[in-house]
Structure 1
């Protein structure tokens, strides 16, 4: 299953000249949970589930696999396996993040 990036989908849906809303990466007071998954078929990682984030993101250090261009941006179709379910995530790369992967709630747009 390919999970689209909600912010990119939102931006493509804007009318010409329409100003996009500010992106929320995380809100302070939400309770966080975690889930373990296999990323890119090679690394077991704890993903933080944050309902206050509108995107999926990962730390720059964790993403050093050659798929990210020199400018931080969006890494496409990264396999994230939980048990026997594989999701292909669109992940924003964040410099100096305090987590490996943050799994945001896509229903906020």
Structure 2
């Protein structure tokens, strides 16, 4: 029987082969870890460490932080007052608006 299989060209498959989808499931085959995968993982971990360090250390001390927003609040309040004043203001009128009707009669 084995001789007929060999002569007829049947392919023998090893039972160690992973059936179905190779990279998911209970009997999955694991992908080889390449140096690029290691490099990307190290970069990602370093970035997370930098983020953690920046979040732990505040940029300003408590004394500097105490009065840091006052100037910004003053500027915002001035801008708000000017915007409210501009809303209530009537549009400007110029002399051209008053004497525009006089130019209709002018002929050359």
TM-score (norm 2): 0.14
Hey, which of these two has a bigger chunk of helix by percent?
Answer: 2
Structure of higher CA gyration radius: 2
Query: TM-score scaled to structure 1, two decimals?
Result: 0.14
Which fold has the larger relative contact order, with Cα–Cα distance below 8 Å and residues 6 or more apart in sequence?
1
